[in-house]
Structure 1
Amino acid sequence: MRKLTNDFGNIVADNQNSLSAGVKGPLLMQDYILLEKLAHQNRERIPERTVHAKGSAAYGEMKITADLSAYTKAKVFQKGEVTPLFLRFSTVAGEAGAADAERDVRGFAIKFYTKEGNWDLVGNNTPTFFIRDAYKFPDFIHTQKRDPRTHLRSNNAAWDFWTLCPESLHQVTILMSDRGIPASYRHMHGFGSHTYSFINDKNERFWVKFHFKTMQGIKNLTNEEAANLIAKDRESHQRDLYEAIERKEFPKWKVQLQILAEKDIEKLGFNPFDLTKIWPHKIVPLMDVGEMILNKNVDNYFNEVEQAAFSPSNIVSGIGFSPDKMLQARIFSYPDAQRYRIGTNYHLLPVNRARSEVNTYNVAGAMNFDTYKNGKAYYEPNSYNDSPKEDKSYLEPDLILEGNAQRYKPMDDDFYSQPRALFDLMNEEQKKQLFNNIASSMDGVEEAIINKALNHFEKISPAYADGVKKALNK
């Protein structure tokens, strides 16, 4: 029989009865097992993520089948390379107790444990987002969360923001379409969403977008189907993913890339780093480069899913950033959120820890359980050969920037052509769902805000506006 211990290996003689002065008490302060259990329980919940709070995850791997050496020197993208990974799915707006089958964007965050360190690709199940400047992000998220007075979610706040920020119309159209409620995490696509850099061994830069296309097929829920499902099972996506992997029905995604040479950036005709826009496939075709599979469930949800920490700041040689304003801000905000939520040494937790060699001078801070191996020097620069040094061969090529420092309003105010192209691709049934979903989401929205939305829809397409009007009985 295995003996019960406390967290430090001390054997527990009695785990049923607290230590007291006599049968009727009171309790004694020297009952350190009681104090430890109560204190630990008080700390069993770390601060909830402000977004992407409700999540599910699994382990797997990505295999590259195409020769990408002309575009990137990153080992993770060399032909034949198999990289272990951890993929966390999530809803975005809801709290940890939210239902899985709500209408919401889904997070699609991947941690690749590469031979050169961890690479985190933090995306969604949509190729676009609501805003293109992180200056608006806290305010946008406030509209998706609870009113501090009523503590209720507010359709009025959401639509007020969207109608005042028309760059959101593309993403709103996706969210309100038939794809706004995936039937499961296995039956939806994933996207890196942002534009990133690829850098090859000649130090040439390419711009790249990452796509993960489900091989299970797209499946979605209507509002009515989702409501019926939520009434029976609030953890439907978590259950589906876990049970599918336990049955060895391992979900797979086709890995595809869009790659554009740095010199060809003007071909797009708009800012390529605008997160509210896609790169048209006719201009930048999709390339099939590999396959991703999930094949192992976690052993401890809290340790692995809840404490998983992702950040786009985690990149490897051959992959870099872009001038995307949203990406630039996330490079700061994500690791800062993790330091607050989990602690300064969150990178040492097993789910977050790199599987490659790590040499750092960051050796202190709460809960640091790493082995100290820096030799004589605990600082840099230093004069000792046994201590880690910088390697300038890993510097990226110059990124040419120009302009005066100012709070620039984006030059591009075309908020309507890409939503129009998406709307025109929809069949009649999909358009009907779009109209009805928008009408449902406008319950309780002020008339003036509804009229602003209708004016925007009119600019996308008169048929778009007419369809929403009919759904609203206007």
Structure 2
Amino acid sequence: MSTKKNNLTTSWGAPVSDNQNSMTAGHRGPTLIQDVHLLEKLAHFNRERVPERVVHAKGAGAHGYFEVTNDLSKYTKANFLSNVGKRTPMFIRFSTVAGELGSADTVRDPRGFAVKFYTEDGNYDLVGNNTPVFFIRDAIKFPDFIHTQKRDPKTHLKNPTAVFDFWSLSPESLHQVTILMSDRGIPATFRHMHGFGSHTFKWVNEQGEGAWVKYHFKTEQGVKNLDVNLAAKLAGENPDYHTEDLFNAIENGDFPAWKLYVQIMPVEDADTYRFDPFDVTKVWSQKDYPLIEAGRMVLDKNPENYFAEVEQATFSPGSFVPGIEASPDKMLQGRLFAYSDAHRYRVGANHNLLPVNRPKAEVNNYQRDGQMRPDSNGGGSVYYEPNSFGGPTESPENKPAAYAVSGSADSVAYDHDDYYTQPGDLYRLLSEDERTRLVENMVGAMKPVAVEEIKLRQIQHIYKADPEYGTRVAEGLGLSIPQEVLR
């Protein structure tokens, strides 16, 4: 491998001092817009593919409703969560992450789980996956990570060497990689998998009191996964297997459903919890913060037109409603910008005016013009603010709750570098049969890696999570555990 030093630069040639940590206001503050390197990376990345989604290109969607089953108003003033029995219309899009629009449904890949709630206070988008964690924890690394999942620019083939090179140099990924290589890496259908908000969010009640929250959608159909050989067979014979299954189930009146649960963490616990609660590569123990039931989601209507309702559906983690706010999760902070920016590029500046994205709530603002404006464009109404002509005005009572930040504007990493406890705990929770399949899948994924150094580096991480786990992977690859790990 080359040892020549090549300085990383911006597109205008300036050297990049930190490509691993975005700049924040204080150690745990929000990401700063002055981090122009981060903005350039995210904005350029959103424009690298035309016109399909950069990620989550292949997917299926359905309409349904969310019904409140437990009063959680002591935690949040979000109206759609306020009263038991209240129903809110919603739309969901399931997807695979890395493949193109024509890729197979049954590949080993995380599944997107994006829910749009059409609330009376505007749309609320919860844009998660079927896993509670992610591969990285800072948005500045996202373009590089997804590059490894896409096709090699020279061969136009998938590149396992790039995949494991990145993962082995980003040990925070091991938790998600272990989940991906487990049975849950290939769900039987979209209906037979859980969904997660993944990130930590903030709930605020009517009194202005905050709490940190994580979302868990538990499938009522039960978790089922595909055998790797059957998944490969289906990929060739019916690459749209999951799309077909979801459509047929709803068409036949077998409406899939999920129970929504949340974990609630008091605001002050964030400073003392044994893992950083804003690190999306970590979970919160349910022993520490038990699941609390919130409601039930039911899918009961198929789209009438795939392009209009599924392909043009746009979701953003930044689409909040009063009572739900962002946390200092650095991966979430980057997504707040990147997703809406991607939609403005892919669908257009007026994507929220399309029927599938249009809020049920009345929309009043001063945005005008742009490509494909499908409404009256504000007519002859006042088009600026402040004004003397009765135009819409701000509502200070809906101001997000403040939280304190301190420290220097700097590119800083998360405090906690424990990459191994949670993936090790996960491995030890599996049955022997599940461990065997996990090891076989990991070995199978690593065998094509062209550089032995990369394999050994990844084995070191696995061994640190659990010695048995690492030893079995090493033996499957015909390699030995590096001596520096054994000391």
TM over 0.5: yes
Whole-angstrom distance in 2 between the partners of 1:453 and 1:376: 61
Q: Do the aligned partners of 1:216 and 1:252 also contact (CA within 8 Å) in 2?
A: yes
Alignment of 1:144-183 (within 5 A): 144-183=149-188
State the aligned residue count: 429
1:63 to 45, 62, 67: 67
Residue 221 of structure 1 is aligned with which of 207, 223, 226? 226
Residue number in structure 2 paired with 1:456: 461
Q: Which has the higher contact order (CA 8 A, sep 6+)?
A: 2
Instruction: State the Cα deviation string for residues 427-464 of structure 1 (Å, max 9, x = none).
Output: 10000011000011113212111111111111111100
1:358 aligns with 2:373: no
Matches of 2:248 and 2:134, distance apart in 1: 31
Output the amino acid matched with 1:382: N
Question: How far did 1:472 drift?
Answer: 2.3
**Out of 198, 220, 230, which is 2:235 matched to?**
230
1:72 to 73, 76, 85: 76
Report the Cα distance in structure 2 between the residues aligned to 1:318 and 1:403, rounded to whole angstroms.
27
Tell me what 1:319 maps to: 324
1:390 aligns with 2:394: yes
- 1:115–1:452 distance in 2 versus 1, CA, 3 Å: same
Q: Which of 321, 337, 340 does residue 335 from structure 1 map onto?
A: 340
Match of 2:383 among 372, 378, 397: 378
In the alignment, the residues of structure 1 paired with residue 267 and residue 470 of structure 2 have an alpha-carbon distance, to the nearest angstrom, of 39
Moved more, 458-467 or 52-61: 458-467
Alignment of structure 1 residues 227-306 onto 2, 5 Å: 227-306=232-311
Letter in structure 2 aligned against 1:307: Q
One-letter identity of the residue aligned with 2:423: P
- Tell me if 1:95 matches 2:100: yes
DSSP-derived class of the 1:268 partner = coil
Q: CA RMSD in A?
A: 1.3
Contact residue 267 and residue 283 of structure 1 kept, 8 A: no
1:109–1:121: 8 Å Cα contact kept in structure 2?
yes
Offset of residue 267 of structure 1: 4.6
Residue of structure 1 aligned with 2:52, choices 48, 68, 71: 48
Q: SS of the residue aligned with 1:175?
A: helix
Q: What CA distance in whole angstroms lies between the structure 2 residues aligned with 1:74 and 1:418?
A: 32
Q: Residue 432 of structure 1 aligns to which amino acid in structure 2?
A: T
Query: Which runs of structure 2 are paired with 1:184-203 in the superposition (5 Å)?
Result: 184-203=189-208
Unaligned runs of 5+ in 2: 1-48, 480-487
1:9-28 matches, cutoff 5 A: none
Check if 1:124 corresponds to 2:133.
no
Q: Does the CA-based 8 Å contact 1:374-1:388 persist in structure 2?
A: no
CA–CA separation in structure 1 for the residues paired with 2:381 and 2:448 = 66
Q: C-alpha distance in 1, partners of 2:378/2:473? A: 64
1:235, 1:197 → 2: CA distance? Answer: 37
Relative distance call for 1:360 and 1:282 in structure 2 (3 A) is: same
Unmatched runs of 5 consecutive residues or more in structure 1: 1-44
Q: In 2, are the aligned partners of 1:268 and 1:283 still within 8 Å (CA)? A: no
Give the secondary structure class of the aligned counterpart of 1:406: strand
Q: Is the 8 A contact 2:133 2:282 kept in 1?
A: yes
2:18 is matched with: none
In the alignment, which residue of structure 2 is the partner of 1:411?
415
State the partner residue of 1:431. 435
Q: Which residue of 2 aligns with 1:16?
A: none
Rg (Cα) greater in structure? 1
- The answer (yes or no) to whether the contact 1:116–1:317 under 8 Å persists in 2 is yes
Deviation string for 1:129-168 (max 9, x for gaps)? 0000011000000000000000000111000000000000
Q: TM-score, normalised by structure 2?
A: 0.86
> Does structure 1 retain, via aligned residues, the 8 Å contact 2:369–2:377?
no
Q: Partners of 2:70 and 2:210 in 1: how far apart? A: 19
Which residue number in structure 1 is paired with residue 11 of structure 2?
none
Alpha-carbon distance in structure 2 between the residues aligned to 1:332 and 1:163: 28
Q: Which moved more, 1:147-156 or 1:255-264?
A: 255-264
- Distance change in 2, residues 1:244/1:327 (3 Å): same
Amino acid of the structure 1 residue aligned with 2:242: H
